[in-house]
Structure 1
């Protein structure tokens, strides 16, 4: 081959790579974001329902916190089996199954009358949704090599703040506008209306999603070859990790990753479940007003998530890109807890807390996926996510219990700040050669 031909090969390869990954992005990521927006809204809209539901049904802060958190016990029990099943039957069928069942269960919350009914439905919702989030993370590893994942996962997880930006005002509007219609309370209408998209999108998943690169009819042969080569090269690197499901549970690195994730999830779910209540505590009146102000921290988070994700991929550095937002979250919780009667100051630092804790999650997943591949990746991602998400049980219950015990959310927010600092320290102790690539 001539020198000129060699010189021209590289730009041609670059063009093919850009075209292939652009196709993958626009085909998959916006759709998966939409699925996660709906999933997350149905998971945390109980935090908004609480503004009316607690008074109507006589639920204490502890009852609400336990009910909000018990979701994650069901989630924990079925997470690993769910991800292993998805690895066998394919993402298309399994994600559709998850969305349809959680949509139907979410609608059933309109019939809740007692704490026991509330607990049972939250537990079943956790069982139904288990596997969706780690399943998508696993699915993305089938399309993207490690050095592209932080940015892509950050874009996908922008669904969390997007759910807050649009979902909180929507929830507030439904609760105010539909209150008393057909003898139903506003919170009952909210559960019903917000459950419908999950079922509809679940059906659409069956028609739209592809199980992998080889089955994607919208890619040409050269694009498929390039993408498969990139993923295979990445998996060769990942084979330094465990090779079997049993090996996953014996690998100390998996449990270290779960500890780090637990610390970050403590802050994430305390924020998403309790944010409407924290805003209301500052003196804001009206569900729609609370919903609009609750959107502000999520707007800040969506900017931070994507800036940090892009920077982490460009620099191929993971640890400090996790440590900094974790410490941002800790500072935000501490200051917001100290100014609970000042709406402006509290909102500003709740926004800092949201930017920090919601940025941690997508950046975190670039750590374990750097050394996991194949079936071990399915089990490892699910194991880390299920153990880490037990914090979703601990933090809402802890905040509710401490609020009942002390009459304030202040102590609970200090505890959350401590968890984030501990998580940042654990990331700092993680060897950089394990995760930076």
Structure 2
């Protein structure tokens, strides 16, 4: 790096900008990280509850896989309407509503006593949570220029890692030590104790957030002017911003296909990770919870490094393609060494690192070709169509496991899905959408 570039890097104006964005980051990002943490706990705690719930209620792997998948049916059906309402009502109120209702519905899972109620409540949790992730991603487009979004998205998506780091041991602890307290099974306590905090966080969102830079009482007039100037300098998108633009953009469908592959890869592991570890010879629920931490710890470091690298190099395509290939290789490793704990842990770490680093870079692309209402609806549409992967993968793994007695064939399928995604990332998205504003 030259002396001139070093001077430019540390110019007073840039230092002030960095200080201002640190202030914005500390106000917004930690809250959304905690919210997303509980969203994912409420979404995937079923994978730990399965260790007790399945035998208590007599559910087969196919029944469990279908119930896990039905979450994504509700999510798919209500994602776009939810984000259209978010655009009209405002992110603060609508995200708070989402959190309160999903927390209540998730806690009600403790009352499940039949396949019907298992399926019904899993579907309703998906309905209630629909719109949260794309709503937050849309919220970021109102506060951050494109050159900062991969890092911001990476911080936000790192909550998935936190969910694994915190959620696994927490779930194991609840299952082991709360089982039988006040006559309730451990899996019932799991749903209750992990659902209630979402309701509280919904009220915190109402208190702390502002929908627009102009409305933030915690910013000075000069700070608002600087932030608005950065947003005004964004390159104009090709879309006029109307709802119809979502359907006229071919890239919307390519992005949806890539995200479907990504979600298949994610949910294929998330809903079966505890069971895969159990089949490798680990019986104690708390030990299983501790072991699930390892892939997430590796992934959180990889996620932040890759997201920062993508922003600093102003490069998206090859970072994304590399993440997809890493995920494919991780699934192959898990499939080649079934029932062996060490290769399984390495493979799962590769899978999660690839997926979780892939996601934040992926979400920098839609605002390049959609804006306004089209951005809110388009992000929701891509996310919604992609969530079909969450319907397919958990049920597929469960069905294959019931039919063959092993999850290994499903792991090969998921590796192939990641290779398809790699091809779409490289050749399916126009190069102009990968360019980052200088």
TM over 0.5: yes
**1:118-155 Cα distance to aligned partner (Å, 9 max, x none):** 11001111110000000000000101111110111001
Partner of 1:183: 183
Within a 5 Å distance, the mapping from 1:222-301 to structure 2 comes to 222-234=222-234, 236-238=235-237, 240-241=238-239, 243-301=241-299
Partner of 1:70: 70
The answer as to whether partners of 1:80 and 1:383 remain within 8 angstroms in 2 is yes
**1:270-315 Cα distance to aligned partner (Å, 9 max, x none):** 1111111111110011100000001100111101111110011111
CA distance in structure 2 between the aligned counterparts of 1:11 and 1:311, rounded to whole angstroms:
21
Q: What is the aligned counterpart of 2:341 among 340, 343, 346? A: 343
The answer as to whether partners of 1:16 and 1:223 remain within 8 angstroms in 2 is no
Secondary structure class of the residue paired with 1:147: helix
Gaps in structure 2 of 5+ consecutive residues: 1-6
Partner of 2:4: none
Partner of 1:131: 131
CA distance in structure 1 between the aligned counterparts of 2:11 and 2:324, rounded to whole angstroms:
39
The answer as to whether partners of 2:76 and 2:387 remain within 8 angstroms in 1 is yes
CA distance in structure 2 between the aligned counterparts of 1:242 and 1:254, rounded to whole angstroms:
15
Within a 5 Å distance, the mapping from 1:378-397 to structure 2 comes to 378-397=376-395
Within a 5 Å distance, the mapping from 1:74-153 to structure 2 comes to 74-153=74-153
Q: What is the alpha-carbon root mean square deviation over aligned residues?
A: 1.4
CA distance in structure 2 between the aligned counterparts of 1:154 and 1:370, rounded to whole angstroms:
18
CA distance in structure 2 between the aligned counterparts of 1:322 and 1:434, rounded to whole angstroms:
13
**Post-superposition offset of 1:242:** 5.1
**1:199-228 Cα distance to aligned partner (Å, 9 max, x none):** 111111111111111111111112111111
**Post-superposition offset of 1:433:** 1.9
**Post-superposition offset of 1:19:** 2.1
**Post-superposition offset of 1:413:** 0.7
In the TM superposition, structure 1's runs of 4+ consecutive aligned residues that sit over 3 Å from their partners are none
TM-score between both structures, scaled by the size of structure 1: 0.96
The answer as to whether partners of 1:371 and 1:435 remain within 8 angstroms in 2 is no
**1:246-279 Cα distance to aligned partner (Å, 9 max, x none):** 1211221101110111111111111111111111
Secondary structure class of the residue paired with 2:370: coil
TM-score between both structures, scaled by the size of structure 2: 0.96
CA distance in structure 1 between the aligned counterparts of 2:382 and 2:406, rounded to whole angstroms:
32
Partner of 1:3: none
CA distance in structure 2 between the aligned counterparts of 1:128 and 1:134, rounded to whole angstroms:
14
Within a 5 Å distance, the mapping from 1:46-57 to structure 2 comes to 46-57=46-57
Partner of 1:416: 414
